[in-house]
Structure 1
Amino acid sequence: MTEQLIGIQKPVRRILDPDEAIAVLERAVPGLVEHRRGEPAAYDWTAAEALGVALPADYKRLCELYPAFELDDFLGVFLPGPQEETDWARMACEERERWVSYADGGLVPPEVEPRNLLSWGASMEGDDFLWSTGAGGPEEWPVTVCSRNGPWWHYDGGMVQFLAELCDGTFEPWALPPVRPEVTGWWDERGVRHDVA
Protein backbone atom coordinates (compact mmCIF):
# COMPACT_ATOMS: atom_id res chain seq x y z
CA MET A 1 0.00 0.00 0.00
CA THR A 2 1.32 3.45 -0.94
CA GLU A 3 1.25 6.22 1.66
CA GLN A 4 -0.78 9.31 0.85
CA LEU A 5 -0.40 13.05 1.31
CA ILE A 6 -3.64 14.24 2.92
CA GLY A 7 -3.20 17.98 2.56
CA ILE A 8 -1.48 21.25 3.35
CA GLN A 9 -2.17 23.55 6.28
CA LYS A 10 -1.19 27.20 5.96
CA PRO A 11 -0.56 29.68 8.75
CA VAL A 12 -2.45 32.97 8.63
CA ARG A 13 0.96 34.62 8.11
CA ARG A 14 4.29 32.90 7.63
CA ILE A 15 6.77 34.33 10.14
CA LEU A 16 10.06 35.02 8.37
CA ASP A 17 11.93 36.86 11.14
CA PRO A 18 13.68 34.23 13.29
CA ASP A 19 13.52 36.28 16.49
CA GLU A 20 9.78 36.84 16.02
CA ALA A 21 9.30 33.09 15.47
CA ILE A 22 11.26 32.32 18.68
CA ALA A 23 9.13 34.85 20.62
CA VAL A 24 5.93 33.20 19.35
CA LEU A 25 7.25 29.77 20.43
CA GLU A 26 8.24 31.10 23.86
CA ARG A 27 4.72 32.51 24.33
CA ALA A 28 3.17 29.20 23.24
CA VAL A 29 5.49 27.13 25.49
CA PRO A 30 6.21 29.37 28.51
CA GLY A 31 8.43 26.80 30.29
CA LEU A 32 10.84 26.78 27.36
CA VAL A 33 12.42 30.07 28.47
CA GLU A 34 13.83 28.34 31.57
CA HIS A 35 16.16 26.38 29.26
CA ARG A 36 17.34 29.34 27.20
CA ARG A 37 21.11 29.77 27.14
CA GLY A 38 22.51 32.81 28.94
CA GLU A 39 24.34 33.81 25.76
CA PRO A 40 23.65 32.56 22.22
CA ALA A 41 25.96 29.67 21.33
CA ALA A 42 28.43 30.13 18.46
CA TYR A 43 27.98 27.81 15.48
CA ASP A 44 29.90 27.35 12.25
CA TRP A 45 26.88 27.17 9.96
CA THR A 46 29.10 27.67 6.91
CA ALA A 47 30.83 24.32 7.58
CA ALA A 48 27.49 22.53 7.99
CA GLU A 49 26.06 24.10 4.86
CA ALA A 50 29.20 23.21 2.85
CA LEU A 51 27.90 19.63 2.96
CA GLY A 52 24.93 20.74 0.89
CA VAL A 53 22.49 21.34 3.74
CA ALA A 54 21.33 24.95 3.87
CA LEU A 55 19.27 25.57 6.99
CA PRO A 56 16.41 27.97 7.74
CA ALA A 57 17.24 31.03 9.85
CA ASP A 58 14.59 30.20 12.49
CA TYR A 59 16.15 26.78 13.05
CA LYS A 60 19.66 28.23 13.35
CA ARG A 61 18.43 30.80 15.85
CA LEU A 62 16.66 28.10 17.88
CA CYS A 63 19.92 26.11 18.01
CA GLU A 64 21.87 29.18 19.14
CA LEU A 65 19.42 29.90 21.96
CA TYR A 66 18.35 26.43 23.14
CA PRO A 67 19.61 22.89 23.66
CA ALA A 68 17.67 20.00 22.09
CA PHE A 69 14.37 19.53 23.92
CA GLU A 70 11.25 17.40 24.14
CA LEU A 71 7.65 18.60 24.21
CA ASP A 72 4.92 16.80 26.20
CA ASP A 73 6.86 13.50 26.44
CA PHE A 74 6.08 13.26 22.73
CA LEU A 75 8.08 15.35 20.28
CA GLY A 76 11.87 15.44 20.36
CA VAL A 77 13.36 18.48 18.61
CA PHE A 78 16.80 17.72 17.13
CA LEU A 79 19.18 20.62 17.73
CA PRO A 80 22.91 19.99 17.35
CA GLY A 81 25.14 21.51 20.00
CA PRO A 82 27.97 23.88 19.15
CA GLN A 83 30.78 22.09 17.27
CA GLU A 84 28.30 19.34 16.29
CA GLU A 85 26.80 21.11 13.29
CA THR A 86 28.99 19.39 10.67
CA ASP A 87 28.30 15.92 12.09
CA TRP A 88 24.59 16.75 12.23
CA ALA A 89 24.60 17.88 8.59
CA ARG A 90 26.47 14.74 7.52
CA MET A 91 23.97 12.53 9.35
CA ALA A 92 21.05 14.46 7.83
CA CYS A 93 22.44 13.91 4.34
CA GLU A 94 22.90 10.20 5.01
CA GLU A 95 19.37 9.93 6.37
CA ARG A 96 17.99 11.03 3.02
CA GLU A 97 19.02 7.63 1.69
CA ARG A 98 16.68 6.05 4.24
CA TRP A 99 13.79 8.06 2.79
CA VAL A 100 14.76 6.98 -0.72
CA SER A 101 14.62 3.33 0.34
CA TYR A 102 11.25 3.94 2.02
CA ALA A 103 9.97 5.49 -1.21
CA ASP A 104 11.08 2.41 -3.13
CA GLY A 105 8.89 0.39 -0.75
CA GLY A 106 5.85 2.65 -1.22
CA LEU A 107 6.23 4.27 2.21
CA VAL A 108 6.56 7.84 0.88
CA PRO A 109 3.67 9.46 -1.04
CA PRO A 110 4.39 9.94 -4.75
CA GLU A 111 3.90 13.73 -4.32
CA VAL A 112 6.84 13.87 -1.86
CA GLU A 113 10.40 13.75 -3.24
CA PRO A 114 12.36 11.59 -0.76
CA ARG A 115 15.71 13.17 -1.68
CA ASN A 116 14.33 16.51 -0.48
CA LEU A 117 13.41 15.31 3.02
CA LEU A 118 15.50 16.62 5.89
CA SER A 119 14.66 15.57 9.44
CA TRP A 120 14.48 17.96 12.40
CA GLY A 121 12.40 16.00 14.91
CA ALA A 122 10.58 12.79 15.80
CA SER A 123 7.92 11.67 18.22
CA MET A 124 8.30 8.96 20.82
CA GLU A 125 5.55 7.12 18.90
CA GLY A 126 7.29 6.99 15.51
CA ASP A 127 6.09 10.17 13.78
CA ASP A 128 8.72 12.07 11.76
CA PHE A 129 8.97 15.84 11.40
CA LEU A 130 10.91 17.06 8.38
CA TRP A 131 11.47 19.84 5.92
CA SER A 132 10.71 19.36 2.24
CA THR A 133 13.73 21.13 0.79
CA GLY A 134 12.69 21.27 -2.87
CA ALA A 135 11.88 24.52 -4.63
CA GLY A 136 12.97 27.84 -3.15
CA GLY A 137 15.40 28.57 -0.37
CA PRO A 138 15.32 27.38 3.25
CA GLU A 139 12.97 30.19 4.33
CA GLU A 140 10.32 28.79 1.97
CA TRP A 141 10.57 25.11 2.97
CA PRO A 142 7.35 23.63 4.34
CA VAL A 143 7.30 21.33 7.33
CA THR A 144 6.36 17.79 6.32
CA VAL A 145 4.79 15.42 8.84
CA CYS A 146 5.07 11.67 8.36
CA SER A 147 2.57 10.18 10.78
CA ARG A 148 3.17 6.71 12.14
CA ASN A 149 -0.52 6.16 11.40
CA GLY A 150 0.14 6.55 7.66
CA PRO A 151 -1.01 10.00 6.55
CA TRP A 152 1.55 12.57 5.45
CA TRP A 153 0.86 16.30 5.38
CA HIS A 154 2.55 19.67 4.92
CA TYR A 155 2.50 22.80 7.01
CA ASP A 156 3.36 25.81 4.87
CA GLY A 157 5.27 27.71 7.55
CA GLY A 158 8.61 27.51 9.31
CA MET A 159 9.63 24.84 11.78
CA VAL A 160 9.64 27.11 14.85
CA GLN A 161 6.23 28.51 13.92
CA PHE A 162 4.99 24.93 13.42
CA LEU A 163 6.05 24.02 16.98
CA ALA A 164 4.32 27.10 18.41
CA GLU A 165 1.09 26.52 16.51
CA LEU A 166 1.10 22.78 17.26
CA CYS A 167 1.37 23.52 20.99
CA ASP A 168 -1.15 26.37 21.08
CA GLY A 169 -3.72 24.49 18.96
CA THR A 170 -3.79 27.01 16.10
CA PHE A 171 -4.04 24.27 13.48
CA GLU A 172 -5.53 20.78 13.35
CA PRO A 173 -2.84 18.23 14.24
CA TRP A 174 -3.86 15.75 11.54
CA ALA A 175 -3.03 12.17 12.60
CA LEU A 176 -1.16 13.47 15.68
CA PRO A 177 -2.34 13.72 19.26
CA PRO A 178 -2.74 17.18 20.80
CA VAL A 179 0.60 18.37 22.20
CA ARG A 180 0.57 20.12 25.56
CA PRO A 181 2.75 23.25 25.67
CA GLU A 182 5.31 21.96 28.13
CA VAL A 183 8.96 21.00 27.99
CA THR A 184 9.35 17.54 29.51
CA GLY A 185 13.02 16.94 28.77
CA TRP A 186 16.17 18.55 27.40
CA TRP A 187 19.70 17.49 26.44
CA ASP A 188 22.86 19.09 27.80
CA GLU A 189 26.08 19.75 25.85
CA ARG A 190 27.31 16.21 26.63
CA GLY A 191 24.18 14.70 25.02
CA VAL A 192 22.71 13.63 28.37
CA ARG A 193 18.91 13.83 28.62
CA HIS A 194 17.37 15.52 31.65
CA ASP A 195 13.74 15.19 32.71
CA VAL A 196 11.91 18.33 33.69
CA ALA A 197 10.38 17.89 37.14
Structure 2
Amino acid sequence: MDDLIGTQTPGRRITDPAESLRALERAVPGLVGLRRPEPATLDWASLEGGLGTALPADLKLLAALYPTFALGDFLLVGLPEPDEEHHRLRGIRSSLEIVQAWWDSDMSIGLRPHPAPGGLLPWAESNEGDMLLWTTTGATPDDWPVTVASRNGGWWHYTGGAVQFLTEWLDGTLDPWALPPLTPEITPC
Protein backbone atom coordinates (compact mmCIF):
# COMPACT_ATOMS: atom_id res chain seq x y z
CA MET A 1 0.00 0.00 0.00
CA ASP A 2 1.33 3.41 -0.91
CA ASP A 3 1.75 6.02 1.79
CA LEU A 4 0.68 9.64 1.84
CA ILE A 5 3.75 11.55 2.97
CA GLY A 6 1.97 14.86 3.48
CA THR A 7 1.07 18.17 1.93
CA GLN A 8 3.28 21.11 1.00
CA THR A 9 1.86 24.59 0.73
CA PRO A 10 3.67 27.37 -1.14
CA GLY A 11 4.63 30.44 0.88
CA ARG A 12 2.42 32.41 -1.50
CA ARG A 13 0.15 30.75 -3.99
CA ILE A 14 0.50 32.38 -7.40
CA THR A 15 -2.98 32.67 -8.85
CA ASP A 16 -2.15 34.75 -11.93
CA PRO A 17 -1.15 32.38 -14.77
CA ALA A 18 1.14 34.98 -16.40
CA GLU A 19 2.99 35.59 -13.13
CA SER A 20 3.34 31.86 -12.60
CA LEU A 21 4.73 31.42 -16.13
CA ARG A 22 7.23 34.28 -15.66
CA ALA A 23 8.50 32.56 -12.51
CA LEU A 24 8.97 29.30 -14.45
CA GLU A 25 10.82 31.16 -17.21
CA ARG A 26 13.20 32.57 -14.57
CA ALA A 27 13.74 29.10 -13.10
CA VAL A 28 14.38 27.57 -16.56
CA PRO A 29 16.42 30.12 -18.54
CA GLY A 30 16.35 27.98 -21.72
CA LEU A 31 12.57 27.82 -21.75
CA VAL A 32 12.18 31.22 -23.39
CA GLY A 33 14.11 29.91 -26.41
CA LEU A 34 11.27 27.43 -27.04
CA ARG A 35 8.55 30.07 -26.84
CA ARG A 36 6.23 30.15 -29.83
CA PRO A 37 6.43 33.37 -31.92
CA GLU A 38 2.66 33.75 -31.48
CA PRO A 39 0.43 32.04 -28.91
CA ALA A 40 -1.06 28.83 -30.29
CA THR A 41 -4.78 28.63 -30.84
CA LEU A 42 -5.77 25.36 -29.22
CA ASP A 43 -9.10 23.58 -29.36
CA TRP A 44 -9.68 23.54 -25.62
CA ALA A 45 -13.36 22.75 -26.11
CA SER A 46 -12.44 19.46 -27.79
CA LEU A 47 -9.80 18.49 -25.24
CA GLU A 48 -11.83 19.54 -22.21
CA GLY A 49 -14.97 18.00 -23.69
CA GLY A 50 -13.13 14.72 -24.14
CA LEU A 51 -11.99 14.86 -20.52
CA GLY A 52 -15.33 16.06 -19.20
CA THR A 53 -13.75 18.97 -17.33
CA ALA A 54 -12.14 22.35 -17.81
CA LEU A 55 -8.40 22.58 -17.19
CA PRO A 56 -6.38 25.05 -15.08
CA ALA A 57 -5.52 28.42 -16.62
CA ASP A 58 -1.78 28.12 -15.87
CA LEU A 59 -1.55 24.95 -17.97
CA LYS A 60 -3.56 26.57 -20.76
CA LEU A 61 -1.21 29.54 -20.89
CA LEU A 62 1.86 27.27 -20.80
CA ALA A 63 0.43 25.24 -23.71
CA ALA A 64 -0.45 28.35 -25.71
CA LEU A 65 3.13 29.61 -25.47
CA TYR A 66 5.21 26.40 -25.44
CA PRO A 67 5.35 22.96 -27.04
CA THR A 68 5.81 19.75 -25.06
CA PHE A 69 9.17 19.71 -23.29
CA ALA A 70 11.29 17.64 -20.93
CA LEU A 71 13.03 19.00 -17.86
CA GLY A 72 16.33 17.63 -16.63
CA ASP A 73 16.08 14.65 -18.95
CA PHE A 74 13.62 13.36 -16.34
CA LEU A 75 10.17 14.96 -16.49
CA LEU A 76 7.95 15.13 -19.57
CA VAL A 77 5.47 18.00 -19.57
CA GLY A 78 3.05 16.95 -22.30
CA LEU A 79 1.12 19.81 -23.87
CA PRO A 80 -1.45 19.84 -26.66
CA GLU A 81 -0.43 21.03 -30.12
CA PRO A 82 -2.70 22.95 -32.51
CA ASP A 83 -4.86 20.60 -34.58
CA GLU A 84 -3.44 17.64 -32.63
CA GLU A 85 -5.33 17.99 -29.36
CA HIS A 86 -6.70 14.47 -29.87
CA HIS A 87 -3.16 13.11 -29.43
CA ARG A 88 -2.86 14.79 -26.03
CA LEU A 89 -6.31 13.52 -25.08
CA ARG A 90 -5.25 10.00 -26.02
CA GLY A 91 -2.09 10.37 -23.90
CA ILE A 92 -4.07 11.55 -20.87
CA ARG A 93 -6.53 8.69 -21.27
CA SER A 94 -3.64 6.23 -21.44
CA SER A 95 -2.24 7.65 -18.20
CA LEU A 96 -5.71 7.43 -16.66
CA GLU A 97 -5.64 3.69 -17.36
CA ILE A 98 -2.55 3.50 -15.13
CA VAL A 99 -4.33 5.46 -12.40
CA GLN A 100 -7.30 3.08 -12.73
CA ALA A 101 -4.94 0.12 -12.31
CA TRP A 102 -3.58 1.76 -9.14
CA TRP A 103 -7.14 2.12 -7.85
CA ASP A 104 -7.97 -1.49 -8.77
CA SER A 105 -4.83 -2.68 -6.93
CA ASP A 106 -5.52 -0.49 -3.86
CA MET A 107 -2.35 1.50 -4.54
CA SER A 108 -3.84 4.99 -4.98
CA ILE A 109 -4.18 5.99 -1.31
CA GLY A 110 -7.92 5.94 -1.79
CA LEU A 111 -7.92 8.48 -4.63
CA ARG A 112 -9.97 7.44 -7.63
CA PRO A 113 -9.13 8.32 -11.22
CA HIS A 114 -10.93 11.11 -13.03
CA PRO A 115 -13.88 11.39 -13.87
CA ALA A 116 -14.82 10.28 -10.33
CA PRO A 117 -15.57 13.30 -8.11
CA GLY A 118 -12.22 14.60 -6.87
CA GLY A 119 -10.51 12.08 -9.15
CA LEU A 120 -6.87 12.14 -10.20
CA LEU A 121 -6.09 13.68 -13.59
CA PRO A 122 -2.52 13.24 -14.94
CA TRP A 123 -0.59 16.20 -16.39
CA ALA A 124 3.12 15.17 -16.40
CA GLU A 125 5.25 12.08 -15.86
CA SER A 126 8.85 11.12 -15.35
CA ASN A 127 10.88 8.65 -17.35
CA GLU A 128 11.06 6.53 -14.18
CA GLY A 129 7.32 6.10 -13.63
CA ASP A 130 6.56 9.03 -11.34
CA MET A 131 3.32 10.83 -12.19
CA LEU A 132 2.13 14.36 -11.50
CA LEU A 133 -1.62 14.67 -11.29
CA TRP A 134 -4.28 17.06 -10.20
CA THR A 135 -6.75 16.05 -7.52
CA THR A 136 -9.83 17.55 -9.12
CA THR A 137 -11.30 19.18 -6.02
CA GLY A 138 -12.10 22.83 -5.43
CA ALA A 139 -14.44 25.45 -6.80
CA THR A 140 -12.57 25.71 -10.14
CA PRO A 141 -9.73 23.84 -11.89
CA ASP A 142 -7.42 26.66 -10.79
CA ASP A 143 -7.97 25.46 -7.21
CA TRP A 144 -6.89 21.87 -7.89
CA PRO A 145 -3.90 20.72 -5.84
CA VAL A 146 -1.05 18.84 -7.46
CA THR A 147 -0.69 15.25 -6.32
CA VAL A 148 2.61 13.43 -6.70
CA ALA A 149 2.61 9.67 -7.14
CA SER A 150 6.24 8.57 -7.00
CA ARG A 151 7.45 5.29 -8.42
CA ASN A 152 8.73 4.29 -4.98
CA GLY A 153 5.26 4.53 -3.43
CA GLY A 154 5.40 7.96 -1.79
CA TRP A 155 2.34 10.11 -2.46
CA TRP A 156 1.98 13.75 -1.49
CA HIS A 157 0.06 16.91 -2.29
CA TYR A 158 1.09 20.44 -3.18
CA THR A 159 -1.53 23.17 -2.79
CA GLY A 160 -0.24 25.45 -5.56
CA GLY A 161 -0.78 25.20 -9.30
CA ALA A 162 1.11 22.97 -11.73
CA VAL A 163 3.37 25.71 -13.16
CA GLN A 164 4.21 26.99 -9.68
CA PHE A 165 4.95 23.39 -8.62
CA LEU A 166 7.48 23.04 -11.47
CA THR A 167 9.07 26.38 -10.58
CA GLU A 168 9.45 25.54 -6.91
CA TRP A 169 10.77 22.06 -7.66
CA LEU A 170 13.37 23.56 -9.99
CA ASP A 171 14.44 26.45 -7.75
CA GLY A 172 14.66 24.28 -4.62
CA THR A 173 11.85 26.02 -2.74
CA LEU A 174 9.92 22.76 -2.74
CA ASP A 175 11.18 19.73 -0.85
CA PRO A 176 10.88 17.02 -3.52
CA TRP A 177 10.38 14.30 -0.88
CA ALA A 178 10.14 11.09 -2.95
CA LEU A 179 11.40 12.75 -6.15
CA PRO A 180 14.97 13.57 -7.19
CA PRO A 181 16.10 17.17 -7.56
CA LEU A 182 15.09 18.57 -10.96
CA THR A 183 17.59 20.45 -13.11
CA PRO A 184 16.60 23.33 -15.41
CA GLU A 185 17.95 21.66 -18.53
CA ILE A 186 15.19 21.79 -21.10
CA THR A 187 14.66 19.66 -24.18
CA PRO A 188 11.91 20.21 -26.74
CA CYS A 189 9.99 17.04 -27.54
The one-letter amino acid of 2:85's match is: E
The one-letter amino acid of 1:154's match is: H
State the partner residue of 1:195: none
State how far apart, in whole Å, the 2-side matches of 1:128 and 1:56 are. Answer: 17
State the partner residue of 1:107: 107
The one-letter amino acid of 2:36's match is: R
Identity %: 52
The one-letter amino acid of 2:65's match is: L
State how far apart, in whole Å, the 2-side matches of 1:135 and 1:19 are. Answer: 21
Quote the offset at 1:94 in angstroms.
5.6
TM-score normalised by the chain length of structure 1: 0.88
State the partner residue of 2:12: 13
State how far apart, in whole Å, the 1-side matches of 2:93 and 2:41 are. Answer: 22
Does residue 98 (structure 1) correspond to residue 95 (structure 2)? The answer is no
Unaligned runs of 5+ in 1: 188-197
TM-score normalised by the chain length of structure 2: 0.91
4+ aligned runs moved over 4 Å, structure 1: none
State how far apart, in whole Å, the 1-side matches of 2:87 and 2:181 are. Answer: 32
Unaligned runs of 5+ in 2: none
The one-letter amino acid of 1:123's match is: S
Quote the offset at 1:87 in angstroms.
4.1
Deviation digits for residues 67-86 of structure 1, max 9, x if unmatched? 10011111110111112224
State the partner residue of 1:147: 150
Aligned residues: 184
Does residue 28 (structure 1) correspond to residue 27 (structure 2)? The answer is yes
State how far apart, in whole Å, the 1-side matches of 2:95 and 2:139 are. Answer: 21
Please tell me whether the aligned partners of residues 69 and 76 of structure 1 are also in contact (alpha carbons under 8 angstroms).
Answer: yes
Please tell me whether the aligned partners of residues 10 and 155 of structure 1 are also in contact (alpha carbons under 8 angstroms).
Answer: yes
State how far apart, in whole Å, the 2-side matches of 1:15 and 1:43 are. Answer: 24
Quote the offset at 1:166 in angstroms.
0.4
User: CA 1:33/1:60 → structure 2, altered by over 3 Å: closer, same or farther?
Assistant: same
Does residue 126 (structure 1) correspond to residue 125 (structure 2)? The answer is no
The one-letter amino acid of 2:174's match is: F
State how far apart, in whole Å, the 2-side matches of 1:144 and 1:70 are. Answer: 19
Counterpart secondary structure, 1:50 = helix
Quote the offset at 1:117 in angstroms.
1.2
Does residue 168 (structure 1) correspond to residue 166 (structure 2)? The answer is no
State how far apart, in whole Å, the 1-side matches of 2:38 and 2:49 are. Answer: 26
Please tell me whether the aligned partners of residues 53 and 89 of structure 1 are also in contact (alpha carbons under 8 angstroms).
Answer: no
State how far apart, in whole Å, the 2-side matches of 1:31 and 1:97 are. Answer: 33
User: CA 1:132/1:152 → structure 2, altered by over 3 Å: closer, same or farther?
Assistant: same
State the partner residue of 2:188: 186
Please tell me whether the aligned partners of residues 76 and 125 of structure 2 are also in contact (alpha carbons under 8 angstroms).
Answer: yes
State how far apart, in whole Å, the 1-side matches of 2:97 and 2:132 are. Answer: 16
User: What value does the CA root-mean-square deviation take over the aligned residues?
Assistant: 1.5
Deviation digits for residues 3-27 of structure 1, max 9, x if unmatched? 1111010011111111111100001
